[in-house]
Structure 1
């Protein structure tokens, strides 16, 4: 089978980017011919090349809405896909999802769109929700199958009239297993290391986490923020204003996230909205207890009270209490971390995700013959 994947941005490595590279590598190793089309040049292309994946840059595929660029982007995409002649097109991210579906319709190519969190989800502005709901209602007519990474997103779409039961299917994210061993007991007096891996931009809420930590100066903790982005400087200033500069480390974008997770004690992901974050699965794989916002598909990964603690969006008091509970109790950290590792092995492995995705490809291609 010949498969073309399209994603909007090459300049950042978010969850959708990591998901796509893992998926394409697995599909290629299974013997299929794969191509990635991505907007611009950047770190995504470098990682694709390092994984021996064919990656083509698109000049006019940009995240921002731009009628002139989007018009050019449609014809650029159409020209490249016409030359490749794939059996199926698999789209990731909103802009690629829109232009790609229109191109697929014009070329009569089967098309699958994976949603890594709807743009009309809870937590975004009402105006944005309305606009994207109307767009996705219309664009649903141009897909052969829409994959949501959480049951939350599938139900949200159905409730708002985007697609139907037959069109929408859930395939939970899955990640390769690093075969990491669970951490042993910690020495007495150990300073507890928290870690949050996320870009400094919406939907992540680093502000709320720093505000909660400012209440907990009496506890023995430090935190590492991994990632970069437009709000990083603001958060650096906020940490200094709170008197936390010596306890908050801003590490920027890193290629050694697995190692950093191995050296941490608690994983945090505080967000205003989410799909099903890969970083939470990475934390569970590493045997870490998770503190996360109760948004999107997060509760489908984190079992509240068993593998971690979920807090309501913007409830900084509950967030502070969750951090306190895990910082003060080594036994709770260890038990939740072990439970999370077991849940990862049962529900969120890469092979399970790959097998379900290939079944979608087969069904879509057969249905278009």
Structure 2
């Protein structure tokens, strides 16, 4: 089965992590995989493994931009000749539908990773018109779509593709000048409004002790957030920029923290739990489904005081941190296995392909 993934870019985000894992592991399930994207370090890594990657300008800032992306994607489809197209998120689904020649027997499967509630109506309208089959990455994402009037999608929960750290905890901390005993919280998230770093910085400004916060990611709000950090007098907050070594950073940190307003099912959280690092996260999207059996502390969105309290518990109480970490590791091993994810996608795609024929 020839599978083409279409996605806006292949950088550090969760959808990109999923595509990289699926494309890398696809040969184990009889797939010949390719990825069409705007590029990024994950595309380079896949190319080095022998996975076909195609550069497609998928920045959809205008109607002409969408048409140019569709034209480039149609060329990719002509060259790669996929049996099925897997589009990740709404913009990629629109581009893929425009690129597919009407009447050809190539199903388009859209994977919905989540959107803000304010964008849901538009997203549902586009997905309803473009997708032959719709997949949601968590029950919460599925509920979003059915609430917007779409038929219930297939739910295939995100999972962890094992990525072993290149360097150990001591080496990473030494490279950043951080002592081995200093408590460290890692926030692996783009510096964009959805992720609400302003809430995290407000919470951090209230935190006592000598803990350090690492912000791994970049984005349009970086200058504003750096200014906010300085204005709040936040101590020991590092902006690390975009990183290709997030597994190493997770290994070097003690916990991870996500204060987003909305999420689908963040891969960074699952990777943290798989590394026995507990999570402080807002109770949005699929996060609550994961942490309901342990592995972290849930906080309400937009509540700095609750974030501070949760951080204090996990950063400064080693026994509590170890207990929560063990619960999270058991959850990952039981519920979020990459083989189960790949098997579910394989069965679904083959059924979709057979139905289209």
For the criterion TM > 0.5, the same-fold answer is: yes
Is 1:240 aligned to residue 238 of structure 2? no
Q: After alignment, is 1-10 or 74-83 more displaced?
A: 74-83
> Could you give the per-residue CA deviations for residues 237-292 of structure 1, whole angstroms, max 9, x where no partner exists?
222222224x1111112222222211211210110110100000011011011100
Is 1:279 aligned to residue 268 of structure 2? yes
> Could you give the per-residue CA deviations for residues 122-149 of structure 1, whole angstroms, max 9, x where no partner exists?
3xx4xx444334x33xx42442321110
Q: How has the CA–CA distance of structure 1 residues 274 and 239 changed in structure 2, closer, same or farther, with 3 Å as cutoff?
A: same
What is aligned with 1:361?
Answer: 349
Is 1:99 aligned to residue 95 of structure 2? yes
Q: In the TM superposition, what is the alpha-carbon distance from 1:327 to its structure 2 partner?
A: 2.6
- Asked if the contact 1:105–1:142 (Cα under 8 Å) also holds between the matched residues in 2, the reply is no
> Could you give the per-residue CA deviations for residues 89-123 of structure 1, whole angstroms, max 9, x where no partner exists?
11112211112134346234112111111x3x43x
Is 1:211 aligned to residue 202 of structure 2? yes
- Give TM-score scaled by structure 1 length: 0.87
Q: For residues 197-276 of structure 1, what are the structure 2 equivalents within 5 Å?
A: 197-216=188-207, 218-245=208-235, 247-276=236-265
1:156 to 144, 161, 180: 144
> Secondary structure of the equivalent of 2:264?
coil
> Could you give the per-residue CA deviations for residues 169-191 of structure 1, whole angstroms, max 9, x where no partner exists?
111111223578xx9xxxxx943
Count of aligned pairs: 343
Q: For residues 162-173 of structure 1, what are the structure 2 equivalents within 5 Å?
A: 162=150, 164-165=151-152, 168-173=153-158
> Secondary structure of the equivalent of 2:193?
coil
> Could you give the per-residue CA deviations for residues 42-65 of structure 1, whole angstroms, max 9, x where no partner exists?
434323223321101124x2132x
> Could you give the per-residue CA deviations for residues 184-212 of structure 1, whole angstroms, max 9, x where no partner exists?
xxxxx943111111111131111101101
What is aligned with 1:55?
Answer: 53
Q: For residues 336-347 of structure 1, what are the structure 2 equivalents within 5 Å?
A: 336-347=324-335
- Asked if the contact 1:6–1:38 (Cα under 8 Å) also holds between the matched residues in 2, the reply is yes
- Asked if the contact 1:9–1:63 (Cα under 8 Å) also holds between the matched residues in 2, the reply is no
Is 1:174 aligned to residue 163 of structure 2? no
Q: For residues 187-198 of structure 1, what are the structure 2 equivalents within 5 Å?
A: 190-198=181-189
Q: In the TM superposition, what is the alpha-carbon distance from 1:16 to its structure 2 partner?
A: 0.9
Structure 2, gaps ≥5 residues long: 170-179
Is 1:333 aligned to residue 318 of structure 2? no
- Asked if the contact 2:29–2:346 (Cα under 8 Å) also holds between the matched residues in 1, the reply is no
> Secondary structure of the equivalent of 1:203?
helix
> Secondary structure of the equivalent of 2:195?
coil
User: What is the rounded CA distance, in whole Å, between the counterparts of 2:348 and 2:193 in structure 1?
Assistant: 31
- Asked if the contact 1:268–1:290 (Cα under 8 Å) also holds between the matched residues in 2, the reply is yes
